[in-house]
Amino acid sequence: MERRVNHDDHQAPRGYRVGPLRVCLPALVFLSHLSVASELNVFSVTERDGEFESRIEALIDAPAEYVYAVITDYKHIYRINPSIVESELLPAEDDGVVRVRSRIQHCLSFFCTEVDMVEDVREVDDGLLVATTVPEISSFKSGTAMWHIRPFGKEGTRIQYRASIKPDFFIPPVIGSLFIKANIRKELTTSFTRIECLAKIMARHRTGDKAATVAMRSGENRPCTG
């Protein structure tokens, strides 16, 4: 499936851009030496009456400005979440809102299908992002997500994340809920690892590290796949 993204229009600090895709040995060597040590200090996924809630507090070993840039790079949000197969920006109805559509591969055991999530994202305060699902054009009855991104120590970031979603598609009783909670936990663990990895690459690119620039252009534009 074609991803509707413009690889020359990548949001990031101070003019960072992503160019054509390439795969080469220097990028692989660079990534093999890139340590990722995000700490998920609080992590819970619960379900009640068909609504799934997630809560995370994490320490990321990367500067906050780059962590923020990775999370708000909506056109390339599929780099973070392994279940997102396509992402695009839609016209927003209100000023100060970014409307993002993501196509998500939803799997239960060996059966997979694709569902749509459209969210209106607003920066409420410095480092505070709130996303609200638009149910009329989504596969979800409701949903909210909150990211609070703050500097921590000299070069780290503290993230507080809260989210709730209520699917508008059939979920088998009991076992379906268990599968979804397990998938959410797996996806969030991967996402936070990738956020840290991408933020580190962007920070090194800012210092002129050529291997970091090449890494951002490698592997189907998914440089962090851990």
Q: Which domains does the chain have, with CATH numbers?
A: 39-201 (3.30.530.20)
Q: Where are the alpha helices (DSSP H) in 33-145?
A: 64-71
Non-local CB neighbours of 146 within 8 Å, separated by 6+ positions? 128, 129, 130, 131, 160, 161, 162, 163
At residue 170, the 3 state secondary structure works out as coil
Closest of 115, 118, 119 to residue 168, by C-alpha: 115
pLDDT by residue, tens only, the chain of 226 residues: 334 433 333 343 333 233 322 333 333 343 334 444 567 888 999 999 999 999 999 999 999 999 999 999 998 898 898 899 999 999 998 889 999 999 998 777 677 889 999 999 999 988 999 999 999 999 999 999 999 999 999 999 999 999 999 999 888 887 888 989 998 999 999 999 999 999 999 888 777 777 766 666 654 456 676 5
pTM value is: 0.78
Partner residues linked to 158 by β-bridges: 59, 150
**Strands across the sheet containing 97-108:** 39-48, 51-60, 156-167, 140-152, 128-133, 111-125, 97-108, 84-90
